[in-house]
Structure 1
Amino acid sequence: MPDATASILLLGATGQVGHALRRTLAPLGAVHAPGRAAVDLMDLKSVRAAVRELGPDLIVNAAAYTDVDGAEEEPGRAAQINAEAPRVLAEAAQEARAWLVHYSTDYVFGGTERTPYTEDNAPNPINVYGRTKRDGEAAIQAVGGRHVILRTSWVYSRRRSNFVRTMLRLAAEDDRLTVVDDQIGVPTWAGWCAEATASVCGRLLADSDVPEAGCYHLAGTGQTSWYGLARAVFAQFGHTDTAVEPVSSGEYETAAPRPAYTVLDSSHVRAAFGVPTTTWAEQLSRFRRHVASLKD
């Protein structure tokens, strides 16, 4: 069993996964979640100082530059937050003898495969966001020490900007939408991701029979396109009158190119940490029930 008196430093607690982690990590120990005023990933001194002052047993980094198109315009900022800050966190974690849990993304892959990506597939990102996240992974691995990198994909929640929220907003404004149908991945509810992360962290803090440090994929099973996800969202939330037309990526121009296929094979994390198997559709159904419960 993990030590309930463990000290946990959570970065990015106002984000989609970070907000949910406040709840799921609480049973494992004292969660310290400083805001950006105290720990700014653009200020590496503040990152080092936070770890040094707290001396945590576990650091969970849920902070990132996640604006895929924005990263094309701000590559330096994206690199600082997604690559340089994780390197400093890894160094500080090693000094504190703490575990570091860090999130990465399916966009480290270029989308050229047509079978689910495993951790053995070599990253080959095709946009700035993916490259900076890959560089963050490499920086942590170069430092070594006790670390777990969790790659997840297509995250959504009730918070911040994400595809599911955008679709629900557009459905309330228009009864006919066009959605890209040639990009395939695994949607992930932030609440489930935080629950699965807590399972991983519990094993790390228990400090017994702990799997080796490294990179693990963390997503549900199955796969869909953005078009398929939109149809599923409308079915779950009762927008049955909204017509959705599939279009190709070439018909929807974006600043950053998107990989065509980034389905993650998460069997390794399930075997290593006992993370329960769940489909992306089951996660979406849970999300809908979660949203409904908050309205009561």
Structure 2
Amino acid sequence: MTVDIKRKQNILIVHNYYQIPGGEDTVVANEMKMLEKHGHKVCLYSRDNMELKQMKKIQKIFLPITTVFNPKTYRDIRKLIREENIEIVHVHNTLNLVSPAVYYAARSMKVPLIQTIHNFRLLCPGATFYRDSHICEDCVEHGLKCALKHRCYRGSRIQTLACVTSTIFHRMTGIYGKINYICLTDFNKEKLLELNQIKYQNVFVKPNFISDKLNEKINIRRSDEFIFVGRLDELKGIKLLFNAWRDLEREEKRPPKLIVCGTGPEEKWCKDFIEKYKIKSIILKGHISNDVVKK
């Protein structure tokens, strides 16, 4: 891929929002602001998995198929590329509604294609290399059938089958070898390259970034406070953190506060844990805006 970095580009960012807001959404917003700040024209094509709740039965029946390849995405992306004179397509998340159809649409229009790797989904249908409270790379070592055995995507064999089918199909077409990738860390890059069809020269490392506005001084005096910002999920270490804080509260007369910002599947567990052990040093804030988190 050759791009003239001095000339301002017309860039299409593609993102499928999850039902629970997460870090990927913030990255997309930050990327758009940065590109626009530097004079690029940025268009956003997005879908939101909240749409799944409003789907008719017939649409849900065909969801396993459109998860593999959504014809609507293919048509929409080609139309946007033509109408907005798009020169680069930058994809973040495609599951479930966007689907990998975006790759084929960009390739058919001969537009350079970039995929930011936010997780391990191209190698692990569960996307995390983690299941049943331990690290798992069975699908890399023994094949994707392992994901079906353990129902690795949302505990559903049907939904896992859709993810596995999609991955196998697109590996067979060779599309993954025709994409340029941005990884967030060297470790991510090393893992991605275990997918043999991906070329070393097409994978780059670019960490996520935050606004320099965080360097502004805020006139708030605080001490003995810690903040957790993220999805309340076991794989994020939230249970380990809460258990550590319970022990800390038992040992310290004045334990530091833990301010927890976020929601997720373990939110009820967190509330029950605080109530059960009568913990006073953990404060649950729920889902709050990025600006409030920074303050």
Larger Rg: 2
TM-score tier after normalising by the smaller chain length: 0.3 to 0.5
TM-score, normalised via structure 1 length: 0.41
* TM-score normalised by the chain length of structure 2: 0.41
